[in-house]
Amino acid sequence: MRFLYLVSLLLLIVTRVQAAGVAVVAPKDGDNAKFGQQLNDGVKIAVDTINEAGGLLGEKLELIYMDDVCSESALHGDVQALNISKDSGINLVIGPYCTDMLFPSMMKGSSAVRIMPQPLNNQWYNYNHTGLYKIGGRISEQAKTFFEVYKDKWIDKNLAVVYSQDNDATYETASELQSIFMANNLANRVNLYDINAYNNKMKKMAKEIVRDNKVAYILGRKSQIAEIAQKLQEKDENIIIIVDEYMATAHFFKEMGNFADGVYLLRINNQKSNANFTKELVELRIKGREPRGIGVMGYAAVMMWRDMVKKAQSFDAAAIDAIAGQQSWSLPWGKVKFQHGRTLTNGGWNMYLFEDGEYTQVN
């Protein structure tokens, strides 16, 4: 199944006839489906906006939604979507949402541009390929947002950072946070706990954490985050818990139930209060459209690609690469420049308090 999918998608990408294809590779089902839907909705708003203005280089855009099951061992395509679009070709790929190191081999020889709108671990952030652009920055940058909130709200409390040594994203974020604490002469306030060192003995880890800490920043796989949060609350109902919403996924809320109240969540800045995006957002709202959550990143990715295509007068990735570094490009958080496909500025993170089903921004 995986081999057939790779071949089918490669043929799909390199075959181009009339319409300009825009593919979103994002989860349709499972705990990440919420974020996949947001991403697809944001891309659709951008595609519709461009088509209503007459298309791009004389061609209308066709949106193709490909399923990303968020598993390297089970990556497969949405067969129906592939069949619908097999005669139109793909000029832009948004994603995949869940990074897969096999995906570059699928893009080999393709002339399509690829934009990754979500924050990435260092390996992906530094990966370079013709036509590949990363606008979400590094996932470890959430550590800066966390520290600013910690400094304002909890500086008198010890912090436990729970991470997994074998997970790049969690390890990098924990390391970044430790460096920030050291640079601010607060190294004595932060304690790191590697999940792997406890051999799944979460009760033991929770007991050690609450003994020395009043704040816990939990990073890890979705099942680990929910379980650790529960064990911590059992040991100390007043402990302050912070999680990354994209790592925790919908699984966290299902497992925690009402006990999710009072938990803080880090999520990507939605840019709704950003002056650079206000006028554009108002115009979209008048038309009854508004990208939500990570959908803002998807919308921004397509609109930036539109500007690149117009400047290059070509859909070809190599032609776009040739002009990409020559100027700044507009994103909701301002003008950005690219270096080896990386933005030198990105949209950043916000922290929210979750209570009664509502999110309240705290930074």
In order of 18, 47, 83, 86, the CA distances from 80 in angstroms are: 20, 20, 5, 10
Residues 132 and 191 reside in one and the same domain: no
User: Residue 79 pLDDT > 70, yes or no?
Assistant: no
237 Cβ partners below 8 Å, 6+ apart? none
300 Cβ partners below 8 Å, 6+ apart? 42, 117, 135, 331, 332, 347
* Domain final position from 267, 301, 323: 267
pLDDT of residue 355: 93
Q: Confirm whether 251 is domain-assigned.
A: yes
Q: Confirm whether 28 is domain-assigned.
A: yes
Q: Confirm whether 358 is domain-assigned.
A: no
Residues 113, 91: Cα–Cα separation, whole Å: 6
Q: Minimum mean pLDDT among 25-34, 53-62, 70-79: which range?
A: 70-79
Q: Confirm whether 360 is domain-assigned.
A: no
pLDDT of residue 71: 61
Residue 108 backbone dihedrals phi, psi, to 5 degrees: -60, 130
Residues 131 and 7 reside in one and the same domain: yes
Quick one: pLDDT band at residue 2, thresholds 50, 70, 90? very low
Mean pLDDT within 339-343? 91
Q: How many domains does the chain have?
A: 2
Residues 180 and 215 reside in one and the same domain: yes
pLDDT of residue 270: 86
Contact 360, 352 (CB under 8 A): yes
Whether the model pTM is above 0.75:
yes
Quick one: pLDDT band at residue 96, thresholds 50, 70, 90? confident
The CATH number assigned to the domain holding 54 equals: 3.40.50.2300
User: Residue 5 pLDDT > 50, yes or no?
Assistant: no
Residues 314 and 341 reside in one and the same domain: yes
* Domain final position from 240, 267, 294: 267
Quick one: pLDDT band at residue 234, thresholds 50, 70, 90? very high
Quick one: pLDDT band at residue 43, thresholds 50, 70, 90? very high
Residues 191 and 73 reside in one and the same domain: no
Residues 112 and 123 reside in one and the same domain: yes
Mapping DSSP to helix (H, G, I), strand (E, B) and coil, where does residue 254 land?
Answer: helix
Residues 297 and 249 reside in one and the same domain: no
User: Residue 135 pLDDT > 70, yes or no?
Assistant: yes
Q: Show the domain range for 228.
A: 140-267
DSSP E strands: which ranges in 206-315? 215-218, 240-244, 263-268
Residues 252 and 276 reside in one and the same domain: no
Residues 13 and 158 reside in one and the same domain: no
User: Residue 4 pLDDT > 50, yes or no?
Assistant: no
